[in-house]
């Protein structure tokens, strides 16, 4: 942070408190500044939010948000997911969630999502303990989940690992995502509960609820993301704020902080229109079906 050379410079501790207070409450900047313990102007609050959010993302982001690359990290996450829902080989749950924003000045129509309000569509991958492993807050609200996934670095990484011979590692996502050898989605034909496919879907559903809880808790702790008040910033600044909240979310988990149960509410973002988009231009669909069938036969047939 800046050196405190000017007498009028807000102390570093107060700067951090102002920013975190805003992230936690989602209050208007003037309201945050008028709190007696902070007592600063709206302009100062705005600068504090920008400074602290940027520093969190730049300096703490690479440390606190890491996708598992080493085998020992993958094995630990796979074990945790298997204990939660009985689904093997999972290194992360993936889903998108909408962050409400004020109508932007540029390309406004791109930010109108399927529910009719302006937003950014944020892709999140989480671990079994709700820790965020990867986050992508670059896309406008009209972008569907499958498109965001296709441009993801994590997709490219998992695809490369598969091509190198990795055959027991995948993400898990809803029907809005394409079925690929490294991304398992449910069967769409609602198989009966006591069949192998039905048991697969049930385990898939239990496991996938983890990402819904993760998104719900993120918005529950950091109310600026909850949509109660739209984020009144440029889409780029909103992306920085979302990423900063994700970093702080992981710090809370690492610190072992406990949260109320109502902060673990599901954030169901599934959209039937997304299901159609997920299967468009998917050259890996047949291989994905083969891998999914192998999982069913190996883990869900003789239960």
- The mean pLDDT value for 76-87 works out to 94
84-94 pLDDT, tens per residue? 989 999 999 99
249 burial type by CB count under 10 A (0-12 exposed, 13-18 middle, 19+ buried) = buried
The per-residue pLDDT for 41 is 79
95-119 pLDDT, tens per residue? 999 999 999 989 999 999 999 999 9
Task: Kindly provide the residue ranges of all beta strands, DSSP E only, lying in 83-205, ordered along the sequence.
Answer: 90-100, 119-126, 132-140, 170-172, 183-184
Residue 59 is classified by DSSP as I
| Whole-number Å distance between alpha carbons of 89 and 77 | 9
44-67 pLDDT, tens per residue? 888 889 999 999 999 999 999 999
The per-residue pLDDT for 261 is 60
Position 283 pLDDT exceeds 90: no
Can you say how many angstroms the Cα of residue 184 is from the centroid of all Cα atoms in its chain?
Answer: 17
CB distance 141 to 113 below 8 Å: yes
The two tokens of residue 299 are: 């883990």
12-46 pLDDT, tens per residue? 888 898 899 889 887 766 666 666 566 677 888 88
220-279 pLDDT, tens per residue? 999 999 877 788 899 999 999 999 999 999 999 999 988 776 665 667 665 555 555 555
The per-residue pLDDT for 182 is 97
The per-residue pLDDT for 169 is 95
The per-residue pLDDT for 258 is 82
- Using DSSP bridges, classify how beta strands 132-140 and 170-172 pair: parallel, antiparallel or unpaired: unpaired
Entry pTM: 0.91
CB distance 192 to 223 below 8 Å: no
> Nearest CA to 132 among 275, 244, 247?
247
| Whole-number Å distance between alpha carbons of 295 and 284 | 17
- The mean pLDDT value for 284-294 works out to 94
- The mean pLDDT value for 163-191 works out to 94
The per-residue pLDDT for 288 is 94
């Amino acid at each position: 942070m800046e050196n405190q050379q000017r007498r009028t410079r807000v102390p570093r501790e107060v700067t951090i408190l102002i920013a975190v207070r805003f992230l936690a409450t989602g209050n208007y900047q003037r309201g945050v500044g008028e709190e007696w313990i902070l007592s600063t102007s709206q302009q100062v609050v705005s600068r504090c939010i920008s400074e602290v959010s940027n520093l969190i993302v730049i300096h703490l982001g690479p440390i606190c948000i890491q996708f598992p690359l080493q085998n020992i990290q993958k094995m630990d996450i796979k074990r945790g997911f298997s204990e939660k829902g009985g689904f093997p080989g999972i290194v992360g749950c993936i889903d998108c969630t909408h962050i409400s924003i004020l109508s932007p000045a540029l390309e406004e129509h791109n930010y109108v999502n399927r529910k009719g309000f302006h937003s950014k569509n944020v892709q999140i991958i989480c671990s079994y303990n709700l820790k965020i492993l990867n986050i992508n807050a670059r896309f406008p609200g009209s972008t569907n989940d499958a498109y965001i996934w296709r441009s993801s670095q994590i997709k490219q990484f998992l695809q490369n690992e598969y091509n190198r011979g990795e055959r027991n590692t995948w993400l898990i996502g809803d029907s809005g995502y394409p079925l690929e050898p490294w991304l398992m989605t449910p069967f769409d034909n609602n198989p009966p509960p006591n069949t192998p496919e039905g048991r697969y879907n049930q385990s898939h559903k239990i496991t996938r609820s983890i990402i819904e809880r993760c998104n719900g808790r993120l918005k529950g702790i950091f109310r600026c993301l909850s949509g109660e008040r739209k984020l009144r910033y440029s889409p780029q600044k909103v992306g920085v704020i979302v990423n900063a909240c994700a970093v702080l979310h992981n710090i809370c988990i690492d610190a072992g902080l406990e949260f109320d149960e109502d902060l673990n509410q599901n954030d169901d973002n599934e959209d039937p229109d997304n299901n159609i988009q997920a299967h468009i231009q998917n050259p890996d669909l047949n291989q994905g079906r083969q891998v999914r069938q192998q999982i069913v036969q190996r883990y869900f047939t003789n239960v």
